[in-house]
Structure 1
């Protein structure tokens, strides 16, 4: 009798996708997108009993404890998974910790033997020697991933729309001002977390088509004035745009000041027209739609 062996990509699709940051904004969006697509999800989190993890479990995900500083927990959490959605952040730690923890995660994914595809979310243009510290740290992680011998895809999201609804921004919005360290009329590429999750799920369903590719992703370009107008229309409150001097940003974080200095000049490069033409089935959610769907407590 002839034994039929499924291709590795097909076998990987039958196994759970491990999602890091699953109880956060980006990882949570990816976990939900995968579940909507019928993919089994193992939600990696330090606290599987947290409210966010419980909510994912109610949607069908399998919460699993994973601590980037505990290699044994990573091995257990990744064992039997067919793919990995990996992300990293220096915020709340530092750049060295970010690289060390992400390296430990990727090494664990290679060691378990079942993972056949890794999707890592980096940052737009992080592979272009921007000099932005938290972009350069992500590029170091990208380089480590490329040398592991695992099929990989790197996504480089643009500026998160969710940043325009965080606590710091909401404080100024309540005063009728949207602050951004960008000159008037100079646009930024932006993207919603849900769009990142949808795109990541799209890639994870097509590992052979996306292996070895690095793709910067954005929904559109928007100026500070356009962002303020979208929030104003969605909230029903008059909101005006005001540029924040880089010196003010630098007093808070030199890393972020360097980022916005780069955003101003030379600026990010993403060909959104070509990106959207290549991926017409993705819902490239506009900023205006994202803002209108939110409840603005202003």
Structure 2
């Protein structure tokens, strides 16, 4: 249990989202004291976290005083960052500010930061490079740390944008159908993060890229088809189309196609069997797919 390692609670950022929420739940299952940091402590999502047993505190990620207050007495920190809803410079500034606040408080003993697979390799992908800058800063602070680099989220196949396409019978991805990607379930990110927080001596100073399974877009479409009872086909979206609404994502998928990500999945699963890694098929079967009646694929 995590509390035997820390005198204070584990602070969790992003707790109302996929990664942070999965980590918070895994920590609570392990018997840890958990403190969720959120901009909106009175939201329905925050109320749900309280019902699970977490302490919920307000944190303004652009205000150092707010962050120091939110982290006061915390024994460990799960940190994550995102440019979505802000921009890359803001993501980096907020991530560095969070880590600096953890140092300033003087009680945080171990930090787990989630970055992205291969973000330490100068990919040129803007939202990977912003995380790389935060990683580098973390390594200079004198704190015990672990960096996790998740691959492509399985959970993205069930977000609003994906569901809109799936309801038309299409899995629209800017990837060739036979090109495998390292997929990871948010639940598995949370399980490994909680493990790293519970066993800091096992994970200190390590950067671990992680994936639950390699799967092609065709295999992803087949898994969702089987789980939903709807025929889903893969359709490759041209990179030029992606470029028109997100140069960042276009750069990412171009990198995926031309360079590719590297994750030692078999070794990862051998070292950390406690995670209970999801296959794409198991993940899809565990969801409720409300895709409506079958429609003709255009």
TM-score, normalised to structure 2's length?
0.95
Counterpart CA distance in 2 for 1:280 and 1:90 is 32
Counterpart CA distance in 1 for 2:52 and 2:58 is 18
Shift of 1:285: 0.9
Q: How does 1:136-155 map to 2 (within 5 A)?
A: 136-155=129-148
1:122: which partner in 2?
115
Contact 1:12/1:116 (<8 A) preserved: no
Other structure's SS at 2:133 match = helix
Partner residue of 2:265 out of 225, 250, 272: 272
Other structure's SS at 2:274 match = coil
- Consecutive unaligned residues of structure 1, counting only runs of 5 or more, are 1-8
Q: How does 1:53-64 map to 2 (within 5 A)?
A: 53-64=46-57
The C-alpha deviation readout for 1:24-69, integer Å capped at 9, x for no partner, is: 1110110011000000000000111111111111111000111111
2:191: which partner in 1?
198
Shift of 1:10: 7.5
Other structure's SS at 2:57 match = strand
Partner residue of 1:251 out of 244, 251, 255: 244
Contact 1:11/1:82 (<8 A) preserved: no
Number of residue-to-residue matches in the alignment: 290
Q: Which runs of 4+ in 1 moved over 2 A?
A: 9-14
Counterpart CA distance in 2 for 1:262 and 1:44 is 33
Counterpart CA distance in 1 for 2:38 and 2:205 is 27
Counterpart CA distance in 2 for 1:183 and 1:149 is 43
Shift of 1:282: 1.5
| 2:89 maps to 1:77 | no
Counterpart CA distance in 2 for 1:10 and 1:49 is 26
Shift of 1:12: 4.3
Other structure's SS at 1:296 match = coil
1:173: which partner in 2?
166
Shift of 1:71: 1.2
Deviates more, 1:279-288 or 1:187-196: 279-288
| 2:52 maps to 1:47 | no
1:239: which partner in 2?
232
| 2:255 maps to 1:262 | yes
Inter-CA distance 10–242: structure 2 relative to 1 (3 Å threshold): closer
Contact 1:79/1:114 (<8 A) preserved: yes
Contact 2:3/2:33 (<8 A) preserved: no
| 2:169 maps to 1:160 | no
Counterpart CA distance in 2 for 1:104 and 1:281 is 32
Counterpart CA distance in 1 for 2:28 and 2:231 is 38
Counterpart CA distance in 1 for 2:52 and 2:171 is 35
TM-score, normalised to structure 1's length?
0.95
Contact 1:12/1:83 (<8 A) preserved: no
The C-alpha deviation readout for 1:190-217, integer Å capped at 9, x for no partner, is: 0111110011000100111111100001
Other structure's SS at 1:111 match = helix
Other structure's SS at 2:273 match = coil
2:17: which partner in 1?
24
Counterpart CA distance in 2 for 1:145 and 1:99 is 12
